[in-house]
Structure 1
């Protein structure tokens, strides 16, 4: 054995008797999607253990077809279970699992507070793994001067229990029935076997500054069709109906609008059938990383280093303007970060991803 591997091997051996594991990851959609890569590493490291997942009910659907987890522990801490009632409910649920090992992948002040209550109110306390070596966590990586990117922090947590993280992309279970459903949807539009691009032009209503703009997405769809022979499929959720419809109206024959016809999990099989994905920095972009296709993720008010979807064939784009990565909800500068990001820049990014020869 390589001497550098010895400490990790010893740590893994120390946790060899683990039978029951809980992973805590509440939000948001993109962060939950990225965390599934680390959950896959955990599953491989403990193939015989029961692994449960504590998530918010809003994201339970992401795991509806995932057989890696024994139980979904769902407590709506941000909704109907807010406050002390929810805290008591959460403690009852997690204590009943009799876990040996618990990973706090959420790792914020609220989760630390709940873990502390768990530790202080129990005779039998599992091994808590967190981001920082402080109460109530027993195991955590050494503190760094600069906080690691979200998923990198989770990988460092696994390393502390001797697990090497090797999964490059999100892993989300998709049923054969859902795959067939998407094939039927494409066939109904005479797109079976067609060369496709997938466009995600929207965002939640509250994050509208993340939108690149319907006009630019429509122009991009025209370029993808004329230069690459790709028909663009537009996808989106309830907050994005108007934006998606506008892209389709402006691009006509270059696009087909599936907004409102798909659920979150449908994006992954659709992504697998596309040759390229172009998306704003939203939760669906992180879900689509599970399809492992070339992706351009467009960023304006958010930091591309922090929000980049994980997978090897993803490139983030951001205009070089002074106010970039501002994280504001209202823009005082006429949305210049998106105005300065051109269709030519996206096409050049596709060349770097070798989508364009």
Structure 2
């Protein structure tokens, strides 16, 4: 097999989980060409992966109007059909990804085990041995269906030197030194009930300063900026606040050098785990068996509530889902790691 088309558009965490599939294909078919279709938020991540040869950007917003669809469809189709593929992998499993997978000329079209929105009409779902396991393994089952060995699960990202230099300068401007031990706090998440309380982050921040480890806040957008301000206001010594100050290339470099990372079930935390950084994930509405820090199952701390794994974006009971995960629990896990 020589040519593969992978369709995995978003979200950040899901794209991170899917990236080892590219390495699995290259591991078995070292001379193959991999084309990946992705949406803008995850473009930088996919573009840093050395196992991906071509990245096609799908800008969904431009397709929302009838005029926009007519303008954008032709160029997208031509880009995709510049090659004939041996296999198309729809790792999104939604209507929009199925529409893109349909454009790829290939005798084989496969998708992941839990496809939705009629996407299984275009690509055959692979119900592999890990259909009830971690999402990384569910994606890799699609590669296994193409006779990939998957001897090693690897997420390789190459940060450009310029971005690494910028990351070091951002650190320095914030009053920190990357050569010292530091811990990254990913303070946000798309779901409100995936966010550990600000006061807990603040308490842990002070505890880490006592251990000579600098706490670093990362995230982006107005909600995370407000949370960062709260966390800083609750601390005795404010942590280093890099919220909304880095792009994903710079964040990747920061995570690569970190002593550890902490946060909820969210993209930057999955990125840290994929890079091999010791990663603690606090979890409530989602299941660690599926979404925990890959390769570090012992570092998932799940809330002790009978309603956990509800898979609801906001708690229907009005509870602060992760409040019951205490600073002491997290600090004990950090002591294990250190």
Under TM normalisation by the shorter chain, which class is it?
0.7 to 0.9
Q: Which residue of 1 aligns with 2:255?
A: 271
Aligned partner of 1:93 in structure 2 is 79
Greater mean alpha carbon deviation, residues 22-31 or residues 253-262: 253-262
Looking at structure 2, the residues matched to 341 and 190 of structure 1 have their Cα atoms a distance apart, in angstroms, of 29
Match of 2:44 among 48, 61, 74: 61
Cα distance change, pair 114–45 in 1 and its aligned pair in 2 (3 A): same
- Superposed CA deviations along residues 57-91 of structure 1, whole A, max 9, x for unmatched, are 232122344443332122234x2224883666654
The alpha-carbon deviation at position 312 of structure 1 amounts to 3.6
Alpha-carbon distance between aligned partners in 2 of 1:111 and 1:89, rounded to the nearest angstrom: 17
Counterpart of 1:10 in structure 2 is none
Contact map agreement 1:197 1:233 (CA 8 A) in 2: yes
> Which sits farther off after the overlay, 215-224 or 58-67?
58-67
- Whether 1:178 aligns to 2:163 is yes
Give the root-mean-square deviation of aligned CA atoms: 2.8
Query: In terms of mean alpha carbon deviation, does 162-171 or 274-283 score higher?
Result: 162-171
Contact 1:169 1:292 in 2 (8 A): no
Which residue in the other structure is 1:197 paired with?
Answer: 183
- SS in structure 2 at match of 1:323: coil
1:125–1:83 CA distance, 2 compared to 1 (3 A): farther
SS of residue paired to 2:19: helix
Task: Report which stretch shifted further, 126-135 or 28-37.
Answer: 126-135
1:287-315 per-position Cα deviation (integer Å, ceiling 9, x unaligned) = 22233111111112222222213234761
How far apart, CA to CA, are the structure 1 residues paired with 2:106 and 2:33? 17
SS in 1 for 2:156: coil
Matched, 1:128 2:114: no
- In structure 2, relative to structure 1, the CA distance for the partners of 1:66 and 1:222 (3 Å cut) is same
Q: Unpaired runs of 5+ in structure 2?
A: none
CA–CA separation in structure 2 for the residues paired with 1:197 and 1:321: 28
The alignment status of 1:105 with 2:91, answered yes or no, reads: yes
Matched, 1:310 2:294: yes
Q: 1:149 maps to what in 2? A: 134
Q: Which moved more, 1:50-59 or 1:322-331?
A: 322-331
Could you say if the C-alpha distance between residues 277 and 229 of structure 1 is closer, same or farther in structure 2, counting changes exceeding 3 Å? same
Change (3 A) 1:150 1:89: farther
Counterparts of 2:162 and 2:74, CA distance in 1: 38
Calculate the TM-score normalised by the size of structure 1: 0.81
CA shift for structure 1 position 27: 1.5
Aligned equivalents of 2:87, 2:255: Cα separation in 1: 35
Q: What secondary structure does 1:48 align onto?
A: coil
